[in-house]
Structure 1
């Protein structure tokens, strides 16, 4: 039985209740973050709080909690749920104004809803998938135009993962005008020669917290990084490919559709970046 946090209170998960009029339930009017826990400490916490505030600002939604209190809630949930390796899911919605309406409710009279819960994931850092790599398929990117806001509108990414599962793959990369945007829940990269290539930040992709850290570590390790769009065909002929996210860190990709990359096993760059990321992130964890 997990302890969860709901609107200022810690409670058993079976007792947590949210109104049927909550706009997160009715209109996907909410944002979220997922923070990994390694060794009982939080990975990239500051990056997630900064992005959370950006998402709230873009949707003209107020935060119901301060950064300091949010850190305390994360730490308390890790403690009471005895999480050594796992994740903390955070969601803030615009709340329940009392009835369904397309117009935003007055933020001064409607309190946002905030929910946090843990997911216990032993062996998160030592993932078997990272050793063998994953397979991805390509699908059309038909999402809305503000993918940089981390909203709870996750139906199409969920459908993409189901398409991948039915095709015998692990995930999907989304394609728009012939170019790879990102994965269903991660940022996408290819490696050509010694150069790491990934799409530049814009409204088209999520501004990944793990992405920012990995690119910083790559540059510090004297790896060449180029932020630009790349086509699906370019990806299919790359030397390596990988994805990054808060829950998978750096995950090698060994096959895109029917194209096997290299010899079908993780190359040199992605495993090294994963090693560096885990080492540095655990050192800086709070």
Structure 2
């Protein structure tokens, strides 16, 4: 049985409770982060902590713990649950003042913080990365502040189910003809030796893995172009891939039934995955 963290306490998962009036439950008024664990150490923790602080600030939400305490809690959950490879999920909501109202509760209302682990042996050596992902394109109908990592994940969840129903692995979302991002990842295409991905804005999540991968790509003398690209461009690309905290760099081999290249993971995606894992492990805490 897992040990989880709820509002300052480490508890068996069966004893963990949150108020039915919590605004995360009633209003999706909360933010989250997911940090990978490899070799018992946290990957890109600093980036996740910085983005969490930004998400909280954008929603005028108070942080219940500081960064040092957050790191200590992460490490303790890794220890208590004996996680070698896996994930730590963190969620902070605006809490509850004991009732439901659209208006924010009083400023002194305590935020809710919950954290739990997911044990995933073989996370780094994921067989899916060797095979590559098949994706479909769907309309992007989410709210306009996708740069805030909120718990409003209904449409991304529906998108993954649309992909599953179509016999694919995931979906890329399209707005005004241009790819925004995947349901839970940032999206990239490769044409020639150039990596193309949408520039940062309110339209997409500012991926922590995205930032690291693009930095590593430039250091490896790969050309990076940050701009909008169409779904038609994507279907005609030499290769494609996604990045996320839980899948790292995932090659894409098919878009809307059209194979990219020879239909196998491309060289750029495979190399970036290799470099990212190697460098991340060196800096893991």
The interval holding the TM-score normalised by the smaller chain is over 0.9
- Distance in 2, Cα, partners of 1:147 & 1:95: 22
Superposed CA offset, 1:39-90 (max 9, x none): 0000000000000000000000000001000000000000010000000000
Secondary structure at 1:283 match in 2: helix
Matched ranges for 1:130-279 at <5 A: 130-279=129-278
Moved over 3 A (4+): none
Instruction: Tell me the SS of whatever aligns to 1:90.
Output: strand
Cα offset, 1:258, TM superposition: 1.6
CA distances 1:124-156 after superposition (whole Å, capped 9, x unpaired): 000001001000000000000000000000000
Deviations 1:146-174 (A, max 9, x none): 00000000000000000000000000000
Deviation at 1:105, TM superposition (A): 1.1
3-state DSSP of counterpart to 1:250: strand
SS of residue paired to 1:116: strand
Q: Deviations over 1:64-123 (max 9, x none)?
A: 001000000000000010000000000000001111000111222x10000000000000
What TM-score comes out, normalization by structure 2 length?
1.00
Residues in 2 aligned to 1:223 and 1:132: alpha-carbon distance in whole angstroms? 23
Aligned-partner Cα distance in 1 for 2:14–2:204: 35
RMSD value, Cα: 0.4
Unpaired runs of 5+ residues, structure 1, are none
Runs of at least 5 residues in structure 2 that lack an aligned partner in the other structure: none
Q: Give TM-score, length-normalised by structure 1.
A: 0.99
Task: Identify the residue that residue 21 of structure 1 maps to in structure 2.
Answer: 21
Shift of 1:267: 1.1
In 2: Cα distance, 1:190 partner to 1:112 partner: 40
Corresponding residue for 1:54?
Answer: 54
